[in-house]
Amino acid sequence: MSKRAVVTGMGVVTPVGNNLAEFWANLTGGVSGVGPITRFDTEGYSSKIAAEVKNFDPGAFIDRKEARRMDRFTQYAVAATAMAVEDAGLDLETINPARAGVILGSGVGGIETLEQQHRMLMERGPGRVSPFFIPMMISNMGSGQVAINYGLRGFNVTTTSACASSNNAIGDAFKLIQRGQADLVITGGTEAPITPLAVAGFCSMKALSTRNQDPAGASRPFDAARDGFVIGEGAVILVLEEMEHALARGAVIQAEVTGYGASCDAYHIVQPDPDGAGAAGAMLMSLADAGVAPEKVDYINAHGTSTPLNDKLETLAIKEVFGEHAYKVAISSTKSMTGHLLGSAGGLEAAVCVLAIGKGLIPPTINLETPDPACDLDYVPNTAISRTVHVALTNSFGFGGHNAALVLEKFNPERNS
C-alpha cells in the first residue's frame, strides 16, 4: 500500500515576510512586496522594479564565514530550512539520516555569483577568480548545503524546470515518500535572480512589467492592463514527512500532498501552448493521482504571472479541466503581491495552499481593477475571503513548456483506509 506524505513544517524568506506569521498577514492583507530595485543601478533598464527580500540577515541562521561562501540563493534555502525544521518540531538527532532527503527547485541557481566572478575575470584576470566560484554558483548547492547542515544522507537532488521547478521538486518528494523510499524530505524552492544580467535578459524579452511609477500596482494577474511579470526572489521550504513517521513523533500535521501531475507543451521555448492542453493535462493528472473529482476542489492557487498570454491560457485550461465548476472555485494569484519567484514560485504557492487549508482564508489577487473579458473566473479580487478549504490545487508553468500541478488536502487520518 502506498505511503502518505504530510506537511509538518514550513519556513519562508520572501518579499512579503521572512517568517510565516508576517508572510501570511501580508498576503491576506493584500500587501505588495514590489518596489524599486535597490541591488544595482537600473539606468537603461526598461523595468526598474522587483519584489526583493527585505531585512534578511544570513548571520541569524548561518555562520558568517560560511555565509560568505554561499550565493544568496543558498543562504535563502538554508535560512528557510532552519525555520521549517523548527516549525516541524524536528529533532534531527532522532531520525534515520539515510532516510531523510532534500529535493529543492531552482531555475537559475547562483547567477549573482556567476556575474560577480565573470566581472572579476574580465577586470583582474583568471588568477583572481574565487576558488569558491563553482560550488557557490551551481544550482544543486542549495540542496547540498541543506543536507550538509543537517547531516541528511538520503536522496538529494535539485530540480530545474524553470518556473515549474519547485512544484516538480515537491511532487518528486511526495512520490519518494509514497514509494516508501524516505521518511522525510526537505523540499520546496529557492531563487535569487534579481541581478543585472538576469533582469536585462528578461527586459530584452519584454517579459517584465514596465509600470515603474507604480511598483505596488505592477503585478496585476488577470487584469486587462497587465503588461508583464515582476521578478521576485526568496525561498520557501516544506518539511514533507511520511504520515506514520510524523504521527509517531507527535508532529502537528498541517496538510497532506495527495496528487502530482506534470506535462510538457512541446510547443515553444517561452510561449505556452495556445490551447492550454499541457496545463490542463498536468491538472487532470494531479487530480487523478489524488483520486479527487474536479468539483471537490475549493481553491486554486494559479500560476497567474500577469503576462498577457499566461493568464488567458491558464484560464482556458482551468475551464477545460473544471467545466462549470471553474466558475465556482476560488482562484487567486499571490504573484500579484510576491512577484514571480521563478524556480521558487511553486514552493511559495504550495505553502499558501497549506495555510489556506489551515486558516480557512483565501488570499486575494490584488490590482485586479479591470477584468480581462478572456479571464472571467472568480480570482478573489483585491480582498481575502473566508472559506473552508478541504482541497487545493496549485499550478506552475515554466519556459520550455514545463507544467506541474499539485493537489493538497486537509489532513484526514481515515483517508484511503
pLDDT digits (tens, 9 = 90+) for 364-398: 999 999 999 999 999 999 999 999 999 999 999 99
In angstroms, rounded to a whole number, what is the distance separating the alpha carbons of residues 355 and 349?
A: 10
| CATH number of the domain residue 112 falls in | 3.40.47.10
Q: Where does the pLDDT of residue 101 fall: very low under 50, low under 70, confident under 90, or very high at 90 and above? A: very high
Regarding whether 296 and 219 lie in a shared domain, the answer is: no
Regarding whether 274 and 241 lie in a shared domain, the answer is: no
Regarding whether 272 and 214 lie in a shared domain, the answer is: no
Among 248, 277, 309, residue at a domain's last position: 248
- Determine the 3-state secondary structure of 365 from DSSP: strand
Residue 256 lies in a domain: no
Q: Is the dihedral of CA 65, 83, 155, 15 positive or negative?
A: negative
Residue 52 cell numbers, joined: 526583493
Is residue 302 scored above 90 in pLDDT?
Answer: yes
Regarding whether 316 and 221 lie in a shared domain, the answer is: no
Is residue 26 scored above 80 in pLDDT?
Answer: yes
Regarding whether 283 and 177 lie in a shared domain, the answer is: no
Among 207, 225, 248, residue at a domain's last position: 248
Is residue 36 scored above 70 in pLDDT?
Answer: yes
How many C-beta atoms lie closer than 10 Å to residue 191's C-beta?
35
- The pLDDT assigned to 258 comes to 98
- The pLDDT assigned to 414 comes to 84
The answer to whether the CB of 404 falls within 8 A of the CB of 164 is yes
Dump pLDDT digits (tens) for 234-274.
999 999 999 999 999 999 999 999 999 999 999 999 998 89
- The pLDDT assigned to 415 comes to 78
Regarding whether 113 and 28 lie in a shared domain, the answer is: yes
Residue 415 lies in a domain: no
Dump pLDDT digits (tens) for 105-155.
999 999 999 999 999 999 999 999 999 999 999 999 999 999 999 999 999
| DSSP state, residue 370 | S
Residue 53 lies in a domain: yes
Active site residue ranges: 163, 303, 340
Write down the mean pLDDT value for the chain: 97
Regarding whether 222 and 341 lie in a shared domain, the answer is: no
In angstroms, rounded to a whole number, what is the distance separating the alpha carbons of residues 211 and 18?
A: 26
Residue 416 lies in a domain: no
Residue 172 lies in a domain: yes
How many C-beta atoms lie closer than 10 Å to residue 65's C-beta?
7
Residue 253 lies in a domain: no
Overall size of the chain counted in residues: 417
- 53: Cα separation from own chain's centroid: 14
Among 218, 248, 278, residue at a domain's last position: 248
Regarding whether 188 and 81 lie in a shared domain, the answer is: yes
Single pTM value for the model: 0.98
Is residue 77 scored above 80 in pLDDT?
Answer: yes
Residue 365 lies in a domain: yes
Regarding whether 266 and 243 lie in a shared domain, the answer is: no
Regarding whether 203 and 59 lie in a shared domain, the answer is: yes
- The pLDDT assigned to 350 comes to 98
In angstroms, rounded to a whole number, what is the distance separating the alpha carbons of residues 244 and 114?
A: 43
In angstroms, rounded to a whole number, what is the distance separating the alpha carbons of residues 18 and 235?
A: 9
Domain range for 340: 261-409
When divided into structural domains, the chain yields a total of 2
Residue 322 lies in a domain: yes
- The pLDDT assigned to 246 comes to 98
Is residue 66 scored above 80 in pLDDT?
Answer: yes
- The pLDDT assigned to 121 comes to 98
Is residue 417 scored above 70 in pLDDT?
Answer: no
Regarding whether 243 and 278 lie in a shared domain, the answer is: no
Regarding whether 285 and 241 lie in a shared domain, the answer is: no
Rounded to a whole number of angstroms, the CA Rg of the chain reads 20
